Chains A and B, each alone.
Chain A
């Protein structure tokens, strides 16, 4: 059998920007999202939310609401007998409705199920809840205080799928949710002998992902089990939580995910599915629970982070030590924050080669909206301090920050992080491209500044993925994949890989995705894992199908298997040539039937060592600062994705630009603001998002393709990393433009203006 060489330039389908598979559906309004689905006999639920940040629930009287016309039932925390109402893949701390106590303003307390949404909504004000208010804990500082009230009194079981190897710290009689620590070398000694040190405190804000489709789930719980249509990124993870809530075998829980209207991490893991399912369980009919955007803002946010950091160089300009202490605010429930804590700890280091490191990170439960994954997984939180300090240090020792980075970044193949995969990117090349793209060396106009910055994260992608590639008798192909199409393009990239391997036209390869009753197990669609892991699975499954078809061809041609040679799109044996359609049809003796190629990927072989890849990218910006108002505009933006090989370059660049734009939003204006226990800007009217008019005038998108990843044809993940360095980049460029160093994001006009004013005095 011939094995394809697979060098850049030799590909037929991959590494080409073929049009999106979902293109026609999405431009004609035919693409179906969960909010568009209607089931026969479907009822609608609306949620009553807590007005208190921290309070005991003394009583709930739902009788007034339950007896209203059109209401099927009202469900509260008192009605959950027979279910295991707590869920959480990392820590089982999250009740599907508040039980006995509420822990944040906006927490679901009850739900009304009715013939339509309006009827359900109108019933909510007839549910009477008596609370006894408790003292609230709103920041890590509050959470640590000696007399701080405890958010969670009980000890929790660790969730079954927590995704990290360490202990769970939650529920040990403090408000600590999770801790993570890393340490090597001798930090104290290194700082003593350093030639220069910078030290500072930084704040990275709470942010809201604003997937334009708010959370939505339709649940149908009946004697056959639980079926849920959901806008979930990780249907298999949600299945696990539902299985434990309802105590059912995996085979009786089915998650179906059609198109998802944006995720960016905010739809990873379980959200409103347990509540929707409990509503259906009590109402005994299918129930749709569609949140509004305001409610989505009360469901998940990113962890905000307070970081103290110091970094040291020696006289040769080599970074010799970094130390950081991070306090993260995780909100009322753990969700995925324990993993965010672990990842942000590691990501304080990368992508630099530093001999002495100590990072101590702790996240705290507070009476605020639960925090969880957000594009970049804790990396942006610590890249603001990390990449700011690189510039601060360079300035201190009189070096060009770009040259200073070049001298200190991890080299290809270097084991710069103990026990982890050696570095698989080429940062010098990446930085060089970014610097050129924004005209690093060119003269700057007054009030303008430039910065290039990078990040390299140990991708959270856990290798556990399976797939089936079905080759039909007409030579067309159906791929069963658990990867969810969030917009990133998995429905395009996955068939590209199968088409490349099987040698069939891309147009003839289709995908069935994200139905846990049909598609084989895939752990998640997140951490930029799909191309690398699902892509590898599809590649292997395609090759396995070819192996089977070679055996079938031998049978058909009555020759030995060794005599069959696989060629592109079929087989050859001497003069005889058969395409896949002929092999299958002749084998079965009918123009029908199929071959199923399979593959299972686990943490072994080339995927044994984590991270599966380092997600590496650089961004470059040029900003202008209006000294009168403090307003910043990003004039130039460059992204460089170090992706190994782009299966679809246009899609990969699109991911980078999307991520960089989100990062720019955080750098300039995005922030969820709490005033006391209330979220002050919990609506899109008040939460400022990047718009057309914020778009930089000059944008360059670059990909570096050295085929140095473990994924198919040397591919690696991308799509998060361009976000991570943006806030630091903007802060650095502002410093170079107007000489003020701002250590917290976003860099709002007010903040910049104040800093300028203070400098004048």
Chain B
């Protein structure tokens, strides 16, 4: 079977089988391994991608569900010239990761938050991000990074 959708701003068509999840299609068929898989039960958020701008756990989403929609993965966030998205840069600046396994999902969820709510309070960040687990950092630097990115994005406007 063939699946067509918009991936990181470009139309794409890929062979797949009906039981495959979006995470499998991205990682195994398209070699986009930035999307990480951990719990596989929609608890940790490591596999988060954006579909039509909203964060979705790709580990439990059948690839079929993504047909004709806009999918953004971590590979699609930086500008073509390599310039990082402000959320990515803020994660580096604030030491908001250690092992980095949660990071792609974390960054995409944070981007979705800021797209929806450009000036979130600490409580709003905590509430929105609660579906993403990080075992390394203790979360404080991630909250700081999101606040910093929000600041930067609002200055850019």
Please name all residues of chain B whose beta carbon is closer than 8 Å to the beta carbon of A488 when the two chains form the complex: 98
Instruction: Identify which of A28, A214, A489, A689 contacts B74 (C-beta below 8 A).
Output: A28
A261 to B107, CA, bound (A): 16
- Given A27-B92, A260-B99: A213 in contact with B38 (beta carbons within 8 A): yes
A260 to B99, CA, bound (A): 6
Instruction: Identify which of A17, A19, A31, A692 contacts B100 (C-beta below 8 A).
Output: A31
Nearest-neighbor residue (CB-CB) of B95 within chain A: A650
Please name all residues of chain B whose beta carbon is closer than 8 Å to the beta carbon of A23 when the two chains form the complex: 91-92
- Per-position binary interface string of chain A over residues 332-376, scored 1 when its CB falls under 8 Å from any chain B CB and 0 otherwise: 000000000000000000000000000000000000000000000
Instruction: Identify which of B38, B88, B91, B137 contacts A214 (C-beta below 8 A).
Output: B38
Please name all residues of chain B whose beta carbon is closer than 8 Å to the beta carbon of A660 when the two chains form the complex: 138
Expressed in whole angstroms, the minimum distance between the Cβ of A302 and any Cβ of chain B is 14
- Given A29-B104, A259-B99, A684-B39: A19 in contact with B93 (beta carbons within 8 A): yes
Instruction: Identify which of A210, A259, A260 contacts B135 (C-beta below 8 A).
Output: A210
A651 to B40, CA, bound (A): 30
Instruction: Identify which of A19, A211, A695 contacts B140 (C-beta below 8 A).
Output: A695
Expressed in whole angstroms, the minimum distance between the Cβ of B88 and any Cβ of chain A is 4
Please name all residues of chain A whose beta carbon is closer than 8 Å to the beta carbon of B102 when the two chains form the complex: 212
A658 to B136, CA, bound (A): 5
A685 to B131, CA, bound (A): 12
A contact residues, total (Cβ < 8 Å): 56
- Per-position binary interface string of chain A over residues 190-217, scored 1 when its CB falls under 8 Å from any chain B CB and 0 otherwise: 0000000000000000000111111000
Q: Do A24 and B137 touch across chains, with their CB atoms under 8 A apart?
A: no
Nearest-neighbor residue (CB-CB) of A116 within chain B: B28
B57 an interface residue at 8 Å Cβ cutoff?
no
B16 an interface residue at 8 Å Cβ cutoff?
no
Q: Mostly helix, strand, loop or mixed at chain B's interface?
A: loop
Chain B, 120-143, CB within 8 A of any chain A CB: 125-127, 129-130, 132-143
Q: Do A24 and B92 touch across chains, with their CB atoms under 8 A apart?
A: yes
A568 an interface residue at 8 Å Cβ cutoff?
no
Nearest-neighbor residue (CB-CB) of B107 within chain A: A27
Please name all residues of chain B whose beta carbon is closer than 8 Å to the beta carbon of A657 when the two chains form the complex: 137-138, 140-141
A683 to B42, CA, bound (A): 11
A-B pairs with beta carbons under 8 A, tally: 161
Please name all residues of chain B whose beta carbon is closer than 8 Å to the beta carbon of A651 when the two chains form the complex: 95
A229 an interface residue at 8 Å Cβ cutoff?
no
Q: Do A658 and B138 touch across chains, with their CB atoms under 8 A apart?
A: yes
Q: Which of B27, B84, B92, B143 has the most CB of A within 10 A?
A: B92
Chain A, 463-507, CB within 8 A of any chain B CB: 486-489
Expressed in whole angstroms, the minimum distance between the Cβ of B133 and any Cβ of chain A is 6
B43 an interface residue at 8 Å Cβ cutoff?
yes
Q: Do B92 and A20 touch across chains, with their CB atoms under 8 A apart?
A: yes
Nearest-neighbor residue (CB-CB) of B75 within chain A: A29
- Per-position binary interface string of chain A over residues 679-711, scored 1 when its CB falls under 8 Å from any chain B CB and 0 otherwise: 000011100011111010001000000000000
Q: Mostly helix, strand, loop or mixed at chain A's interface?
A: loop
Please name all residues of chain A whose beta carbon is closer than 8 Å to the beta carbon of B143 when the two chains form the complex: 692, 695
Q: Do A29 and B73 touch across chains, with their CB atoms under 8 A apart?
A: yes
Q: Do A692 and B98 touch across chains, with their CB atoms under 8 A apart?
A: no
Please name all residues of chain B whose beta carbon is closer than 8 Å to the beta carbon of A685 when the two chains form the complex: 39, 41, 43
Q: Do B99 and A29 touch across chains, with their CB atoms under 8 A apart?
A: no
A29 to B129, CA, bound (A): 19
- Given A20-B92, A261-B101, A684-B44: A27 in contact with B84 (beta carbons within 8 A): yes
A211 to B37, CA, bound (A): 12
Q: Do B33 and A486 touch across chains, with their CB atoms under 8 A apart?
A: no
Please name all residues of chain B whose beta carbon is closer than 8 Å to the beta carbon of A33 when the two chains form the complex: 36, 101
- Given A27-B92, A692-B129, A692-B139: A212 in contact with B44 (beta carbons within 8 A): yes
Nearest-neighbor residue (CB-CB) of A25 within chain B: B100
A689 to B31, CA, bound (A): 30
- Given A29-B32, A29-B35: A661 in contact with B95 (beta carbons within 8 A): no
Q: Do A695 and B32 touch across chains, with their CB atoms under 8 A apart?
A: no
Q: Do A661 and B74 touch across chains, with their CB atoms under 8 A apart?
A: no
A689 to B46, CA, bound (A): 14
Nearest-neighbor residue (CB-CB) of A29 within chain B: B34
Please name all residues of chain A whose beta carbon is closer than 8 Å to the beta carbon of B150 when the two chains form the complex: none
B78 an interface residue at 8 Å Cβ cutoff?
yes
Chain A, 641-655, CB within 8 A of any chain B CB: 650-651, 654-655
B50 an interface residue at 8 Å Cβ cutoff?
no
Q: Do A695 and B34 touch across chains, with their CB atoms under 8 A apart?
A: no
Q: Do A28 and B75 touch across chains, with their CB atoms under 8 A apart?
A: yes
Q: Which of B34, B40, B135 has the most CB of A within 10 A?
A: B135
A655 to B137, CA, bound (A): 7
A35 an interface residue at 8 Å Cβ cutoff?
yes
Nearest-neighbor residue (CB-CB) of B20 within chain A: A118
Q: Do A212 and B140 touch across chains, with their CB atoms under 8 A apart?
A: no
Please name all residues of chain B whose beta carbon is closer than 8 Å to the beta carbon of A28 when the two chains form the complex: 34, 74-75, 77-78, 84, 88
A691 to B38, CA, bound (A): 15
Expressed in whole angstroms, the minimum distance between the Cβ of A728 and any Cβ of chain B is 19
Please name all residues of chain B whose beta carbon is closer than 8 Å to the beta carbon of A684 when the two chains form the complex: 38-39, 41, 43-44, 133
What are 27 of the A-B contact pairs (CB < 8 Å)?
A17-B95, A19-B92, A19-B93, A20-B97, A28-B74, A29-B32, A29-B33, A29-B104, A32-B33, A33-B101, A35-B33, A35-B37, A212-B46, A212-B101, A212-B133, A212-B135, A261-B36, A262-B98, A263-B99, A264-B135, A654-B141, A690-B138, A691-B130, A692-B142, A692-B143, A693-B126, A693-B130
Q: Which are the 6 A-B pairs with shortest beta-carbon distances?
A: A29-B34, A487-B99, A487-B98, A26-B100, A261-B101, A29-B74
What residues make up the interface of B, taking CB atoms closer than 8 Å to A? 19, 27, 31-41, 43-44, 46, 73-75, 77-78, 84, 88-89, 91-93, 95, 97-104, 107, 125-127, 129-130, 132-143
What residues make up the interface of A, taking CB atoms closer than 8 Å to B? 17, 19-20, 22-33, 35-36, 38, 118, 209-214, 259-264, 292-293, 486-489, 650-651, 654-655, 657-658, 660-662, 683-685, 689-693, 695, 699
Q: Known contacts A28-B75, A28-B78; can you find 16 more A-B pairs with CB under 8 A?
A: A29-B74, A31-B100, A32-B33, A259-B100, A261-B38, A261-B100, A262-B101, A293-B40, A486-B98, A486-B99, A654-B138, A658-B135, A684-B133, A685-B39, A685-B41, A691-B133
